[in-house]
Amino acid sequence: VFDLELEKVKAEVQKLSAKRVLVHLPEGLMSKADEIVSALPCEVLLWAKPSYGSCDLPTWAPIDVDLIVAYGHSGEHEGVLFIEAMSDREFKLEFTPPGVVGILYTIQFREQAMKLKAELEAKGKKVLLGNPGRMVHYPGQITGCDITSALNIQSEVDSFLFVGEGKFHQGALELDKPVFDAAGNDVRISKKKRHALVLTLKSFGVLLSIKPGQRDEALAKKLKSELERMGKTVYTIVGDDFDSRISNYPVDAFVTTACPRLAGDTELFGKPILTSQEVLGTARLA
CB of 219 to ligand SF4, least distance (A): 12
Alpha-carbon distance values, 179 to 5, 97, 173, 223, 233 (Å): 31, 9, 8, 31, 38
Q: Could you say whether residue 283 binds ligand SF4 (CB under 6 A)?
A: no
CB of 171 to ligand SF4, least distance (A): 9
Residues 68-107 that bind ligand SF4 (CB under 6 A): none
Strand ranges across the sheet with 273-275: 233-239, 203-209, 253-256, 273-275
Q: Could you say whether residue 56 binds ligand SF4 (CB under 6 A)?
A: yes
The span of 1-9, 98-106, 140-148, 263-271 binding ligand SF4 (CB under 6 A) equals 140-148
Alpha-carbon distance values, 159 to 23, 86, 179, 208 (Å): 38, 25, 6, 36
Nearer to ligand SF4, 80 or 127 (CB): 80
Rounded (5°) CA angle 28-51-240 = 140
Q: Could you say whether residue 12 binds ligand SF4 (CB under 6 A)?
A: no
Alpha helices in the chain (DSSP H): 6-16, 33-39, 110-122, 148-151, 167-170, 195-200, 217-229, 266-269, 276-285
User: Rounded to an integer, what distance in angstroms lies between the CA atom of residue 134 and that of residue 146?
Assistant: 7
* Backbone torsions φ then ψ of 117, nearest 5 degrees: -60, -45
Nearer to ligand SF4, 52 or 82 (CB): 52
Q: Could you say whether residue 144 binds ligand SF4 (CB under 6 A)?
A: yes
Nearer to ligand SF4, 55 or 103 (CB): 55
User: Rounded to an integer, what distance in angstroms lies between the CA atom of residue 223 and that of residue 58?
Assistant: 26
Nearer to ligand SF4, 40 or 55 (CB): 55
The contact pattern for ligand SF4, residues 149-188, with x = CB under 6 A and - = no contact, is ----------------------------------------
Binding-residue total with ligand SF4 (CB under 6 A)? 12
**Cβ atoms of 55 and 259 closer than 8 Å:** yes
| DSSP 8-state code for residue 102 | E
The contact pattern for ligand SF4, residues 206-225, with x = CB under 6 A and - = no contact, is --------x-----------
- The length of the chain is 286
Nearer to ligand SF4, 97 or 264 (CB): 264
Q: Which of 259, 263, 274, 283 binds ligand SF4 (CB under 6 A)?
A: 259
Residues that bind ligand SF4 (CB under 6 A): 52-56, 135, 143-145, 214, 259, 261
